[in-house]
A and B are shown apart, each in its own frame.
Chain A
Amino acid sequence: MRKISFGQMTVILFISRIFYSLTFVPFMYSDVTCQVIGFAISTAIECLAVIPAIILYKKHPDKNLCQIAYEKSKLCGILISVAFAFAAVLIINRLLRFFGYFMYVTFPDFLPSWVVISAIAVISFYAAFQGIEAISRSAGLTFAFFIVSFVIVIAALSTKMSYSNVMFDYPEISDISHEVFNELSKFSELLLFPILYPYVKEKAGKSIYGAIALKLIFVYVITTVCVLTLGSYLNISKFPFFDLGTYAETFIIERLDAFLLPAWILVAFIKAALFMFIGKIALSTSFKRTKANVYLLILSVAALAASLAAVLQEKWNFPVWDKVVVTILILVLGVLLPLVYCFGKGDESETE
């Protein structure tokens, strides 16, 4: 098994998480104060939620959650593998639809959304086919590109920021809880970690905390820049982060959204590839007779077909059940099951 470093793991988890913050910052649903508080609370919960998975990693550093479950009970192992694959399909579907919507809104005459998401699905399939090493290398490049484009945009916007754009509001408990739930429903990296940790050479536990810390920093930076620059326009903006790009200008280039778009596409591709990969790993753990790449193909086709069905009909609104089911799957597969399996004896190669 080819392993990746602690830094690569941190980067892939961060890249996977940041996708939602780029594509969808729903200021239009709650005010900035609630968002800021919500981010802090959800991050604290996320830090607690990863503890069972980290304990599991310490006890079984070379086995993922599906392997551990399969060894204890075949039926449980199969069920958990299928649940992981189902969650992966749902998350890829969600991601492709988000991206399709983003392209539909921001570049309506450029290419049909279904072409864009199909292309992303194909590339992601290829990356997942190549394995975690290929994904992590691409993630490294994506991270570097993202940071560079982000810094350029912020530097270009620095003269346009004003403290008078900040409007505070007394936060309501209901708004904050709504925000926390929203944030947690996006934390699908809880699903990635129990499957991916055997691929990390060392310090896998620290990598997820690193990713959470990076996410928190970036989300706060993005929020601060958005608020200082866009002011109340945030209330009506669909993609505030993208609007930063359209508003930013240097003395050479009039708008910098072109800098952000490639970073965006790369982030979407990495996230889709990661979930295809964990789906493949989960299924191949329990169903060993068939080649793992066949599962990869099935998962990719299923996710793409589901998103194409929605995108072709231009159905952009997600049903409530989708969010609820994804959140439940994240909590069950990412928190509850690791908690169940972290009790008991560990492997010989248990880490300190």
Chain B
Amino acid sequence: MFTALERVMKVKRNRIGFKRIFVIAVCVLFIFSLCSCNSTGRYAKRDIDEKIIVHALGIDITKDGKFEVTLQMLSQQGAGSNTPIDPSKPNSAAISQVADTIPAAIERCETDLGKRAFLGHSELILLGKSVVDLEPILDYVINAEGISLGTFMAYTDITAKEILNIKITSGAYSAEVLKEIFEESQKYGTSTECELIRHIDNLENTNGTTIMPIIKKIKDDKKSSEEKENSSSEINFGQSKSDSSGTEAENEKVKTESGEESGSDSSSKEDSSSKEDSSSKQDESSKSDSSSKSQSESGGGEESGSGGGESGGGSSEEAEATAFYIDGAVIVKNRKPYSVMTRDEVIGLSFLNNDIAEQVIDVKLGDILTGVTAGSVDKNTKVSVKNNRIVVDIRLVISYEFYKSYTKEEQKTAGEKADERIYNFCDKAIKKVLKEDNADLFEIHSLLNHNDYKLYKEYKKNPEEVLKMVDINVSIDSQI
């Protein structure tokens, strides 16, 4: 009796189990059939080799005002089957196309390659110096599918196409190397924060003001020694390379001194040639000359206006540049490039915004030149209104480290000299940003919002006028 009941129960349990398995199987089948029934058109299945993983996006403006978009992607020739990287071959390739809008240019790149571009892994958006207006670019990158908010966005003193066409055989891939350069420079204060989200945040809060670092290429020794002779150069942001009409009237011509403090290789040949001719602001022939020179020098070698064509694969020997460096930054106002900051000014700005991890300051102790590592430890800001002026007191706590063992007296002297240098950097930054350009790069909007709401309301109405009322006082509390 008992066993018969057990059997019945077992059969019943089995039935329930089968029923459950059947329902699960039906659900799974249904979902699979759903996923496979729409495999054409936009949702067509694509294997990974049918996609191009874009690592960097370059944007230039051609002389007729069109967008020239360059996509840098991983070159399969540079990645061996057994080893992740084949160092004998360049690991990146680039393709450029020209169209009226950015998405249209990207679409053209896709049709040229016969693959769909995936932008979700882009690490860098590089803007050529011809980019006059950030509005359409921001509109695109904010709404484009998958572009990460952590993507770096920066300017270059030449064209984005040239920079992205340079072949690098070291590092995982070219865009990653570029990103690492930005990150390292940011750590040392020679580059400002350049993540896409920071730009969007700044532009939203400050009526279209932000700052973007400028990346330049270092050329071979022979050329760089020639360049060292020309320690300063002029860079025209917001002008198409061979643009002889159009945009220059609405853009300011700005000057950057790149050699003075950096000690690094200075600007490129075309910049120096442009400098020679720059005494007359409107001398366009020099720009045309320089642009054609840089075209022939660049690894890409394609004419800007024509667009098209993948440049990569085995043409590594064409690449003349071996590395990049950050030199200065472009101040963007009203979403347009406005002026250029020098390296010193950028360092000052980084100290004032507490964005610096460490910076080596050269100081002279007697006859010996020595390096002092300054690390920004803390920043304390107070806002007050005195005599109808908004006074922002910034107190920086900076720690110094020495490479040699000094006496206490020597350390004190070195610290004081380093203080002087940092005051100098900060003064330069304040003078440039606040007094000359009247730009809000010191987070004045945030300080006012947190400290004086009435002033903040005023700021929202008329930021330019409020910024004119701002004075920044810096004090340094050094710790040895």
Is B a genuine binding partner of A?
yes
Which residue of B is nearest A255, CB measured? B148
Would you list which residues of chain B between 199 and 230 have a CB under 8 Å from chain A?
200-201, 204-205
A220 near B: Cβ within 8 Å? no
A123 near B: Cβ within 8 Å? yes
Neighbouring B residues of A70 by C-beta, 8 Å: none
Neighbouring A residues of B201 by C-beta, 8 Å: 165, 230-233
Partner among A122, A230, A254 whose Cβ is within 8 Å of the Cβ of B30: A122
Which residue of A is nearest B206, CB measured? A232
Residue pair A123, B27 in contact (C-beta under 8 Å)? yes
A328 near B: Cβ within 8 Å? no
Would you list which residues of chain A between 105 and 122 have a CB under 8 Å from chain B?
108-112, 115, 118-119, 122
Neighbouring A residues of B150 by C-beta, 8 Å: 246-247, 249, 254-255
Q: Mark A221-258, 1 if CB is under 8 A from B, else 0.
A: 00000000011110110000001001101000011000
- A254 with B453, Cβ < 8 A, contacts A122-B30, A231-B205, A233-B200 known: no
A321 near B: Cβ within 8 Å? no
The distance from the CB of A257 to the nearest CB of chain B, in whole angstroms, is 9
The distance from the CB of A342 to the nearest CB of chain B, in whole angstroms, is 39
Residue pair A231, B197 in contact (C-beta under 8 Å)? yes
Q: CA separation between A249 and B150, bound complex, in Å?
A: 9
For the complex, count residues of A whose C-beta is within 8 A of B.
Answer: 31
The distance from the CB of B119 to the nearest CB of chain A, in whole angstroms, is 11
B101 near A: Cβ within 8 Å? no
Partner among B27, B37, B197, B450 whose Cβ is within 8 Å of the Cβ of A233: B197
- A254 with B121, Cβ < 8 A, contacts A231-B205, A232-B204 known: yes
Q: CA separation between A126 and B22, bound complex, in Å?
A: 11
Partner among A110, A118, A235, A246 whose Cβ is within 8 Å of the Cβ of B34: A118
A167 near B: Cβ within 8 Å? yes
- A167 with B27, Cβ < 8 A, contacts A112-B43, A246-B148, A247-B149 known: no
Which residue of A is nearest B447, CB measured? A164
Residue pair A167, B34 in contact (C-beta under 8 Å)? no
A129 near B: Cβ within 8 Å? yes
The distance from the CB of B298 to the nearest CB of chain A, in whole angstroms, is 29
- A109 with B31, Cβ < 8 A, contacts A164-B443, A231-B201, A254-B121 known: no
The distance from the CB of A103 to the nearest CB of chain B, in whole angstroms, is 11
Would you list which residues of chain A between 86 and 118 have a CB under 8 Å from chain B?
108-112, 115, 118
Neighbouring B residues of A247 by C-beta, 8 Å: 148-150, 197
Residue pair A167, B38 in contact (C-beta under 8 Å)? no
* Nearest 6 A/B pairs, CB to CB: A232-B204, A231-B201, A247-B149, A164-B446, A119-B31, A115-B34
The distance from the CB of B165 to the nearest CB of chain A, in whole angstroms, is 24
Neighbouring B residues of A170 by C-beta, 8 Å: 453
Known: A112-B38, A126-B23, A254-B150. 11 other contacts (CB 8 A): A111-B38, A112-B43, A115-B34, A115-B35, A115-B37, A125-B27, A165-B446, A233-B149, A233-B204, A243-B149, A247-B197
Q: Mark B21-48, 1 if CB is under 8 A from A, else 0.
A: 0011001001100110110001100000
B449 near A: Cβ within 8 Å? yes
14 A-B residue pairs with Cβ-Cβ distance under 8 Å, sorted by A, are A109-B116, A109-B145, A111-B38, A112-B43, A115-B34, A126-B27, A167-B205, A168-B449, A231-B197, A231-B201, A232-B200, A233-B197, A233-B200, A236-B204
Neighbouring B residues of A233 by C-beta, 8 Å: 149, 197, 200-201, 204
The distance from the CB of B451 to the nearest CB of chain A, in whole angstroms, is 11
Give the interface SS of chain A, mostly helix, strand, loop or mixed. helix
Residue pair A167, B449 in contact (C-beta under 8 Å)? yes
Q: CA separation between A183 and B453, bound complex, in Å?
A: 28
B385 near A: Cβ within 8 Å? no
Partner among A118, A235, A254 whose Cβ is within 8 Å of the Cβ of B148: A254
Neighbouring A residues of B37 by C-beta, 8 Å: 115
B254 near A: Cβ within 8 Å? no
Q: Mark B360-381, 1 if CB is under 8 A from A, else 0.
A: 0000000000000000000000
Q: How large is the interface on B (under 10, 10 to 19, 20 to 34, 35 or more residues)?
A: 20 to 34
Q: Mark A143-178, 1 if CB is under 8 A from B, else 0.
A: 000000000000000000000111110100000000
Q: CA separation between A164 and B205, bound complex, in Å?
A: 11
The distance from the CB of A303 to the nearest CB of chain B, in whole angstroms, is 16
Neighbouring A residues of B43 by C-beta, 8 Å: 109-112
Residue pair A235, B197 in contact (C-beta under 8 Å)? no
Would you list which residues of chain B between 169 and 211 have a CB under 8 Å from chain A?
197, 200-201, 204-205
B142 near A: Cβ within 8 Å? yes
Neighbouring A residues of B450 by C-beta, 8 Å: 166, 168
Would you list which residues of chain B between 408 and 447 have a CB under 8 Å from chain A?
443, 445-446
Which residue of A is nearest B149, CB measured? A247
The distance from the CB of B233 to the nearest CB of chain A, in whole angstroms, is 34
Neighbouring B residues of A254 by C-beta, 8 Å: 121, 148, 150
Q: Mark A248-275, 1 if CB is under 8 A from B, else 0.
A: 0100001100000000000000000000
Which residue of A is nearest B204, CB measured? A232
Neighbouring A residues of B446 by C-beta, 8 Å: 164-167
Neighbouring A residues of B34 by C-beta, 8 Å: 115, 118-119
- A108 with B443, Cβ < 8 A, contacts A233-B200, A233-B201, A233-B204 known: no
Residue pair B35, A111 in contact (C-beta under 8 Å)? yes
Q: CA separation between A324 and B129, bound complex, in Å?
A: 52
Q: CA separation between A112 and B44, bound complex, in Å?
A: 10
Neighbouring A residues of B146 by C-beta, 8 Å: 246
Q: CA separation between A233 and B141, bound complex, in Å?
A: 13
Would you list which residues of chain B between 334 and 381 have a CB under 8 Å from chain A?
none
The distance from the CB of A224 to the nearest CB of chain B, in whole angstroms, is 16
Residue pair A122, B148 in contact (C-beta under 8 Å)? no
Partner among B23, B116, B149, B204 whose Cβ is within 8 Å of the Cβ of A246: B149
Q: CA separation between A167 and B27, bound complex, in Å?
A: 48
The distance from the CB of B387 to the nearest CB of chain A, in whole angstroms, is 27
Neighbouring B residues of A255 by C-beta, 8 Å: 120, 148, 150
The distance from the CB of A110 to the nearest CB of chain B, in whole angstroms, is 8
Q: CA separation between A231 and B449, bound complex, in Å?
A: 13
Q: CA separation between A170 and B453, bound complex, in Å?
A: 9
Q: CA separation between A285 and B247, bound complex, in Å?
A: 74
Q: CA separation between A109 and B146, bound complex, in Å?
A: 11
Residue pair B200, A236 in contact (C-beta under 8 Å)? yes
Neighbouring A residues of B42 by C-beta, 8 Å: 108-109
Neighbouring A residues of B35 by C-beta, 8 Å: 111, 115, 119
Q: Mark A68-85, 1 if CB is under 8 A from B, else 0.
A: 000000000000000000
Which residue of A is nearest B123, CB measured? A254
Q: CA separation between A297 and B116, bound complex, in Å?
A: 40
Neighbouring B residues of A122 by C-beta, 8 Å: 27, 30-31
Neighbouring A residues of B445 by C-beta, 8 Å: 167
Which residue of A is nearest B203, CB measured? A232
Q: CA separation between A108 and B103, bound complex, in Å?
A: 15
The distance from the CB of B389 to the nearest CB of chain A, in whole angstroms, is 22
